[in-house]
């Protein structure tokens, strides 16, 4: 069912506690609806315009979980301008997401956009 890229990122996904809301230099973007079973909260620790660490919580399919983990790796160590350039197309191509899972990539772009609005 899952392609090799998706399986690789599913195996890498690990639970990391989110930072408390009062932690300085941490910005979050939340998208989706928990009750519908498709939701994520992405948080980035940003220092000197560089994303130092990414943490997340996700409710959803294996595709969504793998997509969040890929974005975690992609964003860590990147500048804010590089994060702003993230597109759903880039994510879809990197993970070879099937067309019906495009929404997973778009959810991540939406979460990153929310984070960038706060951080810049």
Domain that holds residue 9: 4-119
CATH number at residue 69: 3.90.1010.10
Give the sign of the dihedral formed by CA 97, CA 108, CA 100, CA 87.
negative
- Secondary structure, 3-state, the chain: CCCHHHHHHHHHCCCCCCCCCCCCCEEEEEEEEHHHCEEEEEEEEEECCEEEEEEEEEECCHHHHHHHHHHHHHHCCCEHHHHHCCCHHHHHHHHCCCHHHHHHHHHHHHHHHHHHHHHC
With cut-offs at 50, 70 and 90, classify the pLDDT of residue 21.
Answer: confident
Q: Look at residues 65, 46, 48 and name the one whose alpha carbon lies nearest to residue 115.
A: 46
With cut-offs at 50, 70 and 90, classify the pLDDT of residue 65.
Answer: very high
Instruction: Tally the domains of the chain.
Output: 1
pTM: 0.91
């Amino acid at each position: 069912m899952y392609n090799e890229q998706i399986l690789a990122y599913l195996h890498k996904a690990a639970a990391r506690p989110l930072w408390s809301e009062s932690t300085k230099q941490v910005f979050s973007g939340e998208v989706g609806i928990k009750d519908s079973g498709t939701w994520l909260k992405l948080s980035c620790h940003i220092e000197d315009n560089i994303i130092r660490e990414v943490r997340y919580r996700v409710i959803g399919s294996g595709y969504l979980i793998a997509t969040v983990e890929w974005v975690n790796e992609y964003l860590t160590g990147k500048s804010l301008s590089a994060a702003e350039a993230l597109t759903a197309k880039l994510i879809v191509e990197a993970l070879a997401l099937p067309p019906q899972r495009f929404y997973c990539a778009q959810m991540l772009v939406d979460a990153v956009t929310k984070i960038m609005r706060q951080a810049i």
